[in-house]
């Protein structure tokens, strides 16, 4: 589903943005750390300070009401000939246990050394099943 260039870009970038929407269709965005594996994007409800408990987060309540989400990975530069992005859309689900959950946490810890002290084994994982991929611009400019 992903081209080698898209996958390299996704693995190279460090931050993405997750859009969810509630049942009334009101959108909401947060920055996310992420890892792409196969046809899924994994995001953890990590131990960065939050104002509410993980399962009360707006992103989680939105996914419970409306599973469709959009993940955008983009790169900005003042040279606008080198801009680029990849967008991954599809339904999300929460995963709290099992092999996929353990694998997602392992991949996130490998990718972000910061997670060594901030990602407990019982962290809730959002798995986005990528049904649609779009990309734009020069994905190889920054690699």
> Is position 140 an interface residue for a second copy (rule: CB under 8 A)?
no
Close Cβ partners of 71 (under 8 Å, ≥ 6 residues apart):
16, 17, 18, 19, 32, 34, 41, 87, 88, 89, 128
Q: Which of residues 58-117 bind a second copy (CB under 8 A)?
A: 66, 68-72, 74, 76, 78, 80, 83, 85, 87, 89, 114
For the beta carbon of residue 118, count every other beta carbon within 10 angstroms: 14
Helix (H) or strand (E) holding 95: strand 84-95
- Residue 142 binds a second copy (CB under 8 A): no
Cβ distance to a second copy smaller for residue 5 or 82: 82
Residues that bind a second copy (CB under 8 A): 14-15, 17, 19-31, 48, 51, 66, 68-72, 74, 76, 78, 80, 83, 85, 87, 89, 114, 118, 136
């Amino acid at each position: 589903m992903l081209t080698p260039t898209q996958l390299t870009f996704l693995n190279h970038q460090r931050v993405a943005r997750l859009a969810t929407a509630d049942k009334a269709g009101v959108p909401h965005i947060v920055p996310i750390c992420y890892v792409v594996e196969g046809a899924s994007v994994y995001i953890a409800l990590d131990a960065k300070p939050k104002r509410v408990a993980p399962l009360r987060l707006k992103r989680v309540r939105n996914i419970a009401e409306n599973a469709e989400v959009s993940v955008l990975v983009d790169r900005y530069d003042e040279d606008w000939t080198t801009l680029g992005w990849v967008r991954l859309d599809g339904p999300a689900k929460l995963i709290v246990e099992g092999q996929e959950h353990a694998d997602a946490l392992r991949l996130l810890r490998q990718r972000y050394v910061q997670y060594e002290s901030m990602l407990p084994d019982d962290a809730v994982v959002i798995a986005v099943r990528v049904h649609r991929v779009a990309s734009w611009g020069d994905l190889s400019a920054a690699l």
